[in-house]
Amino acid sequence: MKLTAGFKPKGYRVGNVDVTIIAQSPKMAPHIPQMRVNIAEDLSCHMDDVNVKATTTEQLGFTGRKEGIACEAVTLLVKSAA
pTM, full prediction: 0.85
pLDDT at site 8:
86
Q: Is 63 exposed, middle or buried (0-12, 13-18, 19+ CB in 10 A)?
A: buried
* Phi (first) and psi of residue 63, to 5 degrees: -70, -35
Domains of the chain: 3-79 (3.30.1330.50)
Task: Round to whole Å and give the CA distance between 9 and 69.
Answer: 33
* Residue-by-residue pLDDT tens, the chain, 82 positions: 467 888 888 999 999 999 999 999 899 999 999 999 999 999 999 999 999 999 999 988 888 898 899 999 999 999 987 6
| Cα separations in angstroms, 78 against 11, 12, 26, 29, 42 | 8, 5, 34, 29, 17
Closest of 82, 19, 21 to residue 45, by C-alpha: 19
